[in-house]
Amino acid sequence: MTIKVGDKMPDGRFAVMTAEGPGELTTDELFSGKKVVMFSVPGAFTPTCSAKHLPGFVAQADAIKGKGVDAVACLSVNDVFVMDAWGKSAGAEGKVTMLADGNCDYTKALGLEIDASDFGMGMRSLRFALVVDDGVVAQAYIEAASAELAVSSAENIVKNL
C-alpha cells in the first residue's frame, strides 16, 4: 500500500549522525507535534539527487521553514555514514536532517520502494516529498519516475505550502 494524504506515517526508526557518532531518530521524535517536509531520493551522490534535489531543499530550507514548517528531512536508502558525508558536502547541516534507511525498511513501510537492481543499486526509494503534520500526511508529491524531478522539488513544495 502506498502512503497517501490523510494516512498516519508508519512507526519506524532512522539512522542519523550525531556528534557522538551514529544514532537513531524515531518517527515519533521527528513527526509528533510538528510540521515536517520529508523528501526522498533514490541515492546519495547520484546525479539528479546531488545536482538538484538535495541542493534545492538546502537552498529553500529557510523559505520552507518560513511557511510554518518545523523541519526538513532527506530520506535515502543509504547508510548513515554516506548520508552524513553527503549532507556535509551539500551544506545541509542545520538546514536538512539527513535520514538513513539503510535496509529500505521505512521506505517499504511507505510503499514507495523501487527495485533498481538493473542499475546495480538494489532496493531504493522512489523520488517523493511528503508534508507531514503531526504524523499525518497533509500533502504527497510522488514522481512518476525516479529520474524525474518536478512535483517533489523544493520549489514546488514552497509554492504549495
Q: Which of 16, 44, 49, 74 is flagged as catalytic?
A: 49
Which overall architecture, per CATH, does domain 13-160 show?
A: 3-Layer(aba) Sandwich (3.40)
Report the candidate in 133, 8, 16 with the shortest Cα–Cα distance to residue 84.
16
Q: Is the pLDDT of residue 57 over 90?
A: yes
Strand partners, 13: 26
49 catalytically annotated? yes
Amino acid at 57: F
Question: CB count, 10 Å around CB of 135?
Answer: 18
The share of the chain scoring above pLDDT 90, in percent, equals 79
pLDDT recorded at residue 122: 66
Interval 109-144: pLDDT, tens? 999 988 776 777 767 788 999 999 999 999 999 998
The share of the chain scoring above pLDDT 70, in percent, equals 94
What end-to-end distance do the CA atoms of the chain give, in Å? 25
